[in-house]
Structure 1
Amino acid sequence: MSDINIELLINTYLVPFGLKILMAIAVWIIGGMLINMIAKLSRKAMSIQKIEPTLAQYGESTVRVALRIALVMVILEVCGIQTTSFAALIAAGGVAIGMAWSGLLSNFAAGIFLVILRPFKVGDAICAAGQTGAVAEIGLFSTTLTTGDNVCVHVGNGKLFSDNIINYTTNPYRRVDLKCQIANGVNPQEAIARLKIHVAKIANLSKAAEPCIEILEFNASGIVIAVRPFCNNNDYWQVFFDTNKAIADTCAEAGWPVPAPHQIEFHKD
């Protein structure tokens, strides 16, 4: 191949193609910077308007995704790829893409309903889809939870929306459910009175509801007493463990025997 042909090839094909690639890279970098700037400005504007953080995060994510799609379309035009042809290609494979994205689209739709219906918001403690934790973020397709052992869990919005959602933060206080097993022969009324004294000393009990300490059931070992104090959700585990300690201290202080199954044997003459 002659030098003239090589030069012609370079000038005709390689140079324009290289320029398009460089232009596409420049558009991607500059476009990405503009998208970040616009997203931050939109979030700041929503913050000034005192829009709820959950809705603000969702709105920012939507803006980012929409602008990224627009940026990709611009880059395709820069590279000389007609977007109409690209759209036709997507339409031709619409069935396959729809099947592959069905779960993703359902998560997206569920995310919209979660923001509109607001069964929970960022910062709430919830139990849903087999996970329990504090809501860190409600995204376009998944919700991020931080569990009690400080593990980050991403749950699909579709799975969350289709499951029962327990929100521990909605109500101002909640109940701690514990039991105290006392042996046969121990006076239950005396046990209840002693338990009330020790439970009343626990810190951070709710003043809106008195602790419920009553006979719950009977079994072969004696009587089971329900010990149910109320507290704020943030103080739940502290009250839970302190109540267990109060039950143990009550039993030790009273000197009650260890509960054991009690059986009476009948002898046939």
Structure 2
Amino acid sequence: MDYDKVVSDLTNMVVFYGPKLIAAIVIFIVGSWVIKGVMLALNRALDKADADASLRPFIRGLCEALLKILLVITVLSMLGIEMTSFVAILGAAGLAVGMALSGTLQNFAGGVMILLFKPYKIGDVIDAQGYVGKVSEIQIFNTILKTPDNKTIIIPNGGLATGSMINYSTEQTRRVDWTFGIAYGDDIDQAKAVIRKLCDADQRILNEPEVLIAVSALADSSVNFTVRAWVQASDYWDVFFDMNENIYKRFNQEGLNIPFPQMDVHLHKPE
């Protein structure tokens, strides 16, 4: 064995690869330190934005994985390893997986947007995608609603993030609308006075804005009143149902008739 040649080859390898190896180690150490700093800054940003607790692990894990992959690729490139083919294969695999999971990724992105911007939160009552219910849970892929009759509705977050939605819980007060009718020939002023007294007697109806009572239509069989009153959001349905019952009882006591559709038939005897 030619020891001089072996020593010479080893010396050449050390001279050629030594600086690259040292530089790669330094870059790896510095890069790891930078990643830790970036993750700390990200944690502070999430705390400042009051991001949802269920969203934070996903954001941190995703960002940390991407940064570490970039660091490893950089270090391997510095050692002289050709990364072009590897990156191309990785990109093609990512594209294939993304296309296969396009719906799932859309729901994931929707969940991230919902948890970041918070168009609704747990406990809110929303109307979305044809369903009305109280939000019981916000997951990263789905939102779970509980309907008033205790059904569980699971809605993908992709549609919720991009579609129209009504949130009934964002405002403290809501307006209750009724339509009441009386028969033609009944006293309009009396009917308005009865409605006004019932509204004033209900302590749940707010004084401001003022209750609106107006004749809205001269219908086929009735004179219709539109009544609009403001209440606390939590009292909406109780006030709505109670007022319907009270109007029916009080109109009957006051001699006001609640009409129903009817038809007059005239028979003519031929001569």
Same fold (TM over 0.5): yes
Cross-structure match for 1:152: 152
More off after superposition, 185-194 vs 199-208 = 199-208
Taking structure 2 as the reference length, what is the TM-score of the superposition? 0.63
Give matches, 1:103-114, under 5 Å: 103-114=103-114
Please, what is the CA RMSD of the aligned residues? 3.6
Cross-structure match for 1:228: 228
Q: How many residues in Structure 1 have an aligned counterpart in Structure 2? A: 208
Cross-structure match for 1:124: 124
Q: Aligned partners of 2:93 and 2:49: how far apart in 1?
A: 40
Cross-structure match for 2:76: none
Give matches, 1:1-269, under 5 Å: 55-59=52-56, 94-261=94-261
Q: 1:90 to 1:178 in 2, by over 3 A?
A: farther
Match for 1:233: what amino acid? A
Match for 2:111: what amino acid? G
Instruction: Compute the displacement of 1:177 (Å).
Output: 1.5
Q: Aligned partners of 2:58 and 2:258: how far apart in 1?
A: 59
SS in 1 for 2:182: strand
Taking structure 1 as the reference length, what is the TM-score of the superposition? 0.64
Q: Percent identity over the alignment?
A: 33
Match for 2:223: what amino acid? I
Instruction: Compute the displacement of 1:152 (Å).
Output: 2.0
Instruction: Compute the displacement of 1:262 (Å).
Output: 7.5
Cross-structure match for 1:6: none
Cross-structure match for 1:26: none
SS in 1 for 2:193: helix
Match for 2:173: what amino acid? Y
Q: 1:60 to 1:193 in 2, by over 3 A?
A: farther
Instruction: Compute the displacement of 1:248 (Å).
Output: 0.8
Q: Aligned partners of 2:252 and 2:200: how far apart in 1?
A: 17
SS in 2 for 1:56: coil
SS in 2 for 1:204: coil
Instruction: Compute the displacement of 1:187 (Å).
Output: 1.8
Q: Aligned partners of 2:234 and 2:147: how far apart in 1?
A: 14
SS in 2 for 1:121: coil
Q: 1:90 to 1:189 in 2, by over 3 A?
A: farther
Q: Aligned partners of 1:136 and 1:196: how far apart in 2?
A: 39
Instruction: Compute the displacement of 1:58 (Å).
Output: 2.8
Q: Aligned partners of 1:110 and 1:182: how far apart in 2?
A: 50
Instruction: Compute the displacement of 1:131 (Å).
Output: 1.5
SS in 2 for 1:229: strand
Q: Aligned partners of 2:181 and 2:107: how far apart in 1?
A: 46
User: Do the aligned residues in 1 keep the contact of 2:108 with 2:141 (CA within 8 Å)?
Assistant: yes
Instruction: Compute the displacement of 1:256 (Å).
Output: 2.1
Q: Aligned partners of 1:51 and 1:151: how far apart in 2?
A: 33
Q: Aligned partners of 2:98 and 2:118: how far apart in 1?
A: 28
Match for 2:54: what amino acid? Q
Unaligned runs of 5+ in 2: 1-42, 66-86, 266-271
Instruction: Compute the displacement of 1:250 (Å).
Output: 2.3
User: Do the aligned residues in 2 keep the contact of 1:180 with 1:226 (CA within 8 Å)?
Assistant: yes
Q: Aligned partners of 2:208 and 2:55: how far apart in 1?
A: 35
SS in 1 for 2:132: strand
Q: Aligned partners of 2:244 and 2:48: how far apart in 1?
A: 42
User: Do the aligned residues in 2 keep the contact of 1:61 with 1:139 (CA within 8 Å)?
Assistant: no
More off after superposition, 236-245 vs 147-156 = 147-156
Q: Aligned partners of 1:163 and 1:225: how far apart in 2?
A: 35
Q: 1:170 to 1:193 in 2, by over 3 A?
A: same
Q: Aligned partners of 1:51 and 1:149: how far apart in 2?
A: 36
Q: 1:216 to 1:244 in 2, by over 3 A?
A: same
